[in-house]
Amino acid sequence: MRHILSVTVSNQPAVLARISGLFSRRNFNILSLNVGETDKPEFSRMTIVVEGNDDTIEQVKKQLYKLIDVIKITDLNQTNMVERDMALIKVNCNKNQRSQVIQVVDVFRGKIVDFSIETVTVEVTGDENKITAFIEILKDFGIKEIVRTGIIALDRELSVS
């Protein structure tokens, strides 16, 4: 099963190496990993998507907690979080296809961020499913290149429905 771990770590050199090294050394399967500074510059937040059964996830969390630089781990369950993935997609788009591509982009609330004679580059954010669906549809036009950020996620405040 897929788990999204939100991990607060000290913003220090080599922390990423420690974390990613732990995953490979302990044979944990990492699906995506994202790092960025938090509102406090001394801390970073990593969003780590891991796959494994309950025992594996328990070990992942415990082993992560052993690292001196790890401050806090939150296991975000699927129903109680806000999850975002972002993709930049460069898609073939000649003059005749333009209106069609723009329509699709509009439906998915994407944004065209670059335009050339033969291609457009689209930015889209959303949960993983939405982006996967968007990519599927764009495949008809011919995708030249894709980059995805992987998931970032936060706990949803309980007061907000």
Q: Which stretch binds another protein (CB under 8 A): 21-29, 87-95, 108-116, 147-155?
A: 21-29
Among 32, 34, 63, 125, binds another protein (CB under 8 A): 63
What the block records as the tokens of 64 is 């992560």
Least distance to another protein, CB of residue 95, Å: 49
Dihedrals phi, psi of 95, to nearest 5 degrees = -50, -45
Q: Print burial letters for 102-118: b (CB count within 10 Å at least 16), e (below 16).
A: eebbeebebebeeeeee
Query: Judged by CB under 8 A, does residue 21 bind another protein?
Result: yes
Q: Which stretch binds another protein (CB under 8 A): 67-75, 91-99, 105-113, 129-137?
A: 67-75
Query: Judged by CB under 8 A, does residue 62 bind another protein?
Result: yes
Task: With beta carbons less than 8 A apart as the criterion, state whether 20 and 33 touch.
Answer: yes
Task: With beta carbons less than 8 A apart as the criterion, state whether 92 and 119 touch.
Answer: yes
Query: Judged by CB under 8 A, does residue 10 bind another protein?
Result: yes
Q: Which is nearer to another protein, 29 or 59 (CB)?
A: 59
